[in-house]
Structures are given as C-alpha cells and as structure tokens.
Amino acid sequence: MYKEGDRVTYLLLYVDDIIPMASKTDLLQQITERLHSEFSMMDLGDLHHFLGISVMRSADGLFLS
C-alpha cells in the first residue's frame, strides 16, 4: 500500500502475478511505469481472472465470483 495525501495505491501480489490499483489514473500510470523500469513485466490488460476468481467490472465497482 502507498498513500500520499488523498492518493492511494494498492499492489496485490501472488508469486509472479500483480494487480495494481490506484485512486487516481495518473498515479496508477506512474506506479506501472516505475515497476516496468525495475522489472521485466507484461501488461495483460483489464483484469478478468485472478487465482481462480472471475472479475467483472460495472458502474457500481467490481464483482468477484
């Protein structure tokens, strides 16, 4: 977790899988760029599955099943 004022970022990690989340789009972009500069990473796009959990995004938030 990283917090700076009202800006918050969470990194969910499991072995070699990372889910970055941030309260602001620009903060998420900064964190992602920083990670890419330090580690060999691939961006697989929008999250659909993680650890056997299906993820669906809606206007109300995320639905996990």
**pLDDT score recorded for residue 50:** 87
User: Could you tell me how many residues make up the chain?
Assistant: 65
**pLDDT score recorded for residue 37:** 93
Across-strand partners of 56?
A: 63
Residue type, 12: L
pLDDT for 8-58, tens place per residue?
Answer: 999 998 888 888 889 998 999 998 899 899 999 888 888 898 888 999 988
Contacts of 14 (CB under 8 A, 6+ apart): 50, 51
Asked if 51 and 40 touch (Cβ cutoff 8 Å), the reply is no
**pLDDT score recorded for residue 46:** 85
Residue type, 63: F
